[in-house]
């Protein structure tokens, strides 16, 4: 069994009356790349913010299990938590313009992590920061370190943010839609960069996205979320070739394909998260709905995958919740 | 710098007009007041009091207001509730009445006046800093700082404070101007800085009585106040843009 970096079981996140995450389970092992997929509002971001206890103060969180490197994130005292953040698990944010401090130079921001977590002297931190910029493909690092975020292009900024994330030499890298704000050509370069760095450093990677196609080439496992719940999780090849949950099937069908023109549009909208649901949350939009869906399905094992759908029930034994 | 001591009374030379446009005495460039004191000398000396009072009050208010505003915005909860309550109490109180009461009880003089004016200005800082901190706290780069393990005091110092500093500077310039005006009002009411020391406010109010016969007595201190306030505001604007690296 490989070392587990992040282990989340039965996570609930509530904002007032809104239940953003309802019983999500997720784990990432050492050296493993996991994709977390879902539409806007499916609870992806709430899940990963909770993983580092970065959720806004008005969020109420509970989980039967939420550990980062074996530490219970929800009860960990602040100083210990600060040592984990950036050192054990680092995060790349969606929009690098707002996620970098506009008033500090790139060099200062990368060096901050280095001096904090690696106890380097300012001069060493500077040298190390330049080396990191080279690693993420930024040329002329000495000049670039002295510049402010607004002097960088979008792609460059995201590279700088990756450099800052790598500065703590983390075991787990969490990427929250890191390419969404970028051009398609830059997206491809960054995906390749992150995937390469992950393999090279043997990091765990949790890649959050709504772009199924972009993710296919880099992750080992995919977790599909809908309305705050995990619908299906499994190895990427199996999930793409043989999706079991009707929602996963609908997601894959909605991708535009060259040979079939535009993808199919999934009818309806996601459920109102402020109201408690009984039964399967996807049932109202599901084409394979049946009477049994009035009851919420548990996770069923189906091949290498786990599926929260009654359709998978006969094929596999039920996983203990 | 001043041609005469500001308090030298010369009753033979009282109410002399400025050296222009009507021929006055070249010796008294801006004329003299009702007891024959040289206007130019008094304005030059008055600058010391007005500027010292205005700047000290703005500085004191800036420090107190900014610290309270940062804490209220960043920590939220009970801290925010307590500080917001203080702000509202302060804003609900008619300030001039409050100032007269305090100065009547504790007596006038430089330090009490600065303290009372700081009481009036800290609210400006606290309100603006608090609301900016609230919005900054939710910014991605602050979350990102938390995400790499930066502690709360350091986030306040390195991430939030520099971002609100331009606003603090701008508010400080307005507050210095406001403090100079308020000091003038307090001097008029006889609860200001020592009446024997000339301050622009006191001169302006004295000149009010002679507005019809000796226009220069109120006009020149007024111009001095207006120019200083304008200068303070222009400087605040300039500093505001200079402190923001994006605007360079």
Q: How far apart are CA B68 and CA B83, in angstroms?
A: 7
User: Nearest CA of chain A to the CA of B161: how many Å?
Assistant: 10
pLDDT computed for residue A301 by the predictor: 83
Tell me the domains of chain A and their CATH numbers.
30-53+79-256+276-312 (3.40.50.300)
Q: Which of A46, A116, A51, A132 is closest to A82 using CA atoms?
A: A116
CB distance B36 to B11 below 8 Å:
yes
SS (H, E, C) chain B: CCCCCCCCCCHHHCCCCCCCCCCCCCCCCCCECCCCCEHHHHHHHHHHHHHHHHHHHHHHHHHHHHHHHHHHHHHCHHHHHHHHHHHHHHHHCCHHHHHHHHHHHHCCCHHHHHHHHHHHHHHHHHHHHHHHHHHHHCCHHHHHHHHCCCCHHHHHHHHHHHHHHHHHHHHHHHHHHHHHHHHHHHHHCCCCCCCCCCCHHHHHHHHHCCCCCCCHHHHHHHHHHHHHHHHHHHHHHHHHHHCCHHHC
Of B140, B146, B149, the CB nearest to A87: B149
Q: For A186-215, what is each residue's pLDDT tens digit?
A: 888 888 889 999 999 899 999 998 878 778
Cα of A273 to nearest chain B Cα, Å:
22
For residue A41, pLDDT over 60 is answered with: yes
Q: Which residue of B has its CA nearest to A169?
A: B148
**pLDDT value, residue B128:** 92
What is the pLDDT confidence band of residue A263, given thresholds at 50, 70 and 90?
low
ipTM: 0.74
Mean pLDDT in chain A?
A: 85
Q: What confidence score (pLDDT) does residue A262 get?
A: 64
Nearest-Cα distance to chain A for B135, in Å, is: 12
Per residue in A70-118, pLDDT (tens digit) is 889 888 898 888 888 988 999 988 888 888 888 889 999 899 888 888 8
Instruction: Give the pLDDT confidence score for residue A252 in this predicted structure.
Output: 84
pLDDT tens for A115-141 read 888 888 888 888 989 999 998 889 899
Residues of chain A found within 8 Å of residue B164, distances taken between Cβ atoms: none
- Would you call A19 helix, strand, or coil by DSSP? strand
- Is the Cβ pair B139, A116 closer than 8 Å? no
pLDDT at B206: 81
Question: Which residues sit opposite A36 in a β-bridge?
Answer: A208, A223
Taking the CB of residue B163, how many other CB atoms lie within 10 A of it?
21
Low-confidence ranges of chain B (pLDDT < 70): 1, 21-25, 194-195, 244-248
More confident residue, A62 or B31: A62
Tell me which chain A residues have a C-beta less than 8 angstroms from the C-beta of B143. Answer: 49, 54, 93, 99
Instruction: Say if residue A268's pLDDT is above 60.
Output: yes
pTM of the predicted model as reported, rounded to 2 decimal places: 0.76
What is the per-residue pLDDT for A320? 42
- Nearest Cα neighbor of B30 from B224, B233, B227, B241 is B224
Chain B interface includes A112 (CB < 8 A): yes
Q: What is the pLDDT of residue A316?
A: 47
Q: How many CB atoms lie within 10 A of CB A229?
A: 25
Contact A54 B147 (CB under 8 A): yes
Instruction: Report the distance separating Cα A151 and Cα A212, nearest Å.
Output: 32
Mutant choice from A102, A146, A178 vs B, greatest count of B C-beta within 10 A: A102
Determine the pLDDT at residue B37.
82
B245 vs A99: CB contact, 8 Å cut-off? no
| Percent of residues, chain A, with pLDDT higher than 90 | 17
For position B82, what pLDDT does the model report?
Answer: 93
pLDDT of residue B111: 86
pLDDT for the residue numbered A184: 81
Tell me the average pLDDT across A286-311: 85
Distance CA A141, CA A132 (A): 9
Distance from CA of B75 to the nearest CA of A (A): 10
Tokens 């980062």, residue?
A: A68
pLDDT in tens, B160-170: 998 888 889 88
Going along chain B from its start, the domains and CATH numbers come out as 52-247 (1.10.3720.10)
CB nearest A117 (choices: B76, B144, B149):
B149
């Amino acid at each position: 069994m490989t070392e587990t970096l992040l282990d989340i079981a039965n996570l609930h996140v509530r904002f007032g009356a809104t239940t953003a995450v309802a019983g999500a389970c997720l784990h990432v092992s050492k050296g493993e790349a996991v994709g977390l997929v879902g539409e806007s509002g499916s609870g992806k971001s709430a899940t990963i913010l909770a993983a580092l206890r970065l959720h806004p103060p008005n969020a109420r969180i509970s989980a039967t299990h939420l550990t980062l490197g074996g530490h219970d994130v929800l009860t960990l005292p602040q100083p210990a938590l600060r040592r984990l953040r950036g050192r054990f698990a680092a995060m790349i944010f969606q929009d690098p313009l707002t996620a970098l401090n506009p008033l500090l130079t790139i060099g200062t921001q990368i060096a901050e992590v280095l001096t904090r977590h690696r106890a380097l002297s300012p001069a060493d931190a500077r040298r190390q920061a330049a080396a990191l910029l080279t690693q993420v493909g930024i040329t002329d690092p000495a000049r670039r370190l002295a510049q402010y975020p607004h002097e960088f292009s979008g792609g460059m900024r995201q590279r700088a943010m990756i450099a800052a994330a790598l500065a703590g030499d983390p075991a787990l890298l969490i990427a929250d839609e890191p390419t969404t704000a970028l051009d398609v050509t830059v997206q491809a370069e960054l995906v390749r960069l992150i995937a390469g760095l992950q393999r090279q450093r043997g990091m765990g990677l949790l890649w959050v996205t709504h772009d199924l196609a972009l993710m296919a080439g880099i992750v080992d496992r995919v977790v599909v979320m809908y309305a705050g719940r995990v619908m299906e999780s499994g190895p990427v090849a199996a999930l793409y070739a043989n999706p079991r949950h009707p929602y996963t099937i609908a997601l894959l069908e909605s991708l535009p394909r060259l040979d079939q023109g535009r993808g199919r549009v999934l009818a309806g909208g996601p459920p109102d998260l402020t109201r408690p649901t009984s039964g399967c949350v996807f049932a109202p939009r599901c084409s394979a709905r049946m009477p049994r869906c009035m009851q919420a399905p548990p996770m069923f094992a189906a091949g290498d995958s786990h599926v929260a759908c009654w359709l998978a029930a006969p094929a596999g034994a039920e996983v203990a919740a | 710098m001043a041609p005469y001591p500001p308090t030298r009374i010369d009753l033979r030379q009282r109410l002399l007009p400025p050296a222009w446009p009507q021929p006055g005495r070249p010796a008294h460039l801006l004329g003299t007041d009702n007891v024959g004191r040289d206007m130019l000398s008094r304005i030059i000396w008055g600058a010391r009091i007005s500027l010292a009072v205005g700047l000290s009050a703005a500085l004191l208010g800036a420090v107190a207001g900014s610290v309270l505003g940062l804490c209220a915005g960043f920590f939220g909860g009970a801290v925010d509730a307590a500080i917001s309550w203080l702000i509202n109490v302060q804003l609900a109180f008619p300030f001039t009445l409050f100032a007269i009461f305090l100065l009547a009880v504790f007596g006038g003089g430089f330090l009490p006046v600065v303290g009372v004016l700081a009481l009036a200005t800290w609210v400006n800082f606290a309100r603006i800093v608090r609301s900016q901190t609230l919005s900054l706290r939710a910014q991605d780069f602050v979350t990102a700082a938390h995400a790499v393990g930066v502690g709360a005091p350091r986030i306040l110092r390195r991430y939030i404070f520099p971002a609100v500093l331009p606003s603090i500077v701008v508010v400080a310039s307005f507050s210095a101007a406001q403090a100079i005006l308020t000091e003038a009002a307090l001097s008029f009411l006889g609860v200001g800085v020592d009446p024997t020391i000339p301050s622009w406010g006191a001169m302006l109010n004295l000149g009010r009585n002679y507005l019809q016969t000796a226009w220069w007595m109120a006009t020149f201190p007024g111009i001095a106040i207006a120019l200083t306030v304008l200068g303070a505001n222009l400087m605040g604007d300039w500093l505001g843009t200079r402190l923001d690296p994006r605007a360079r």
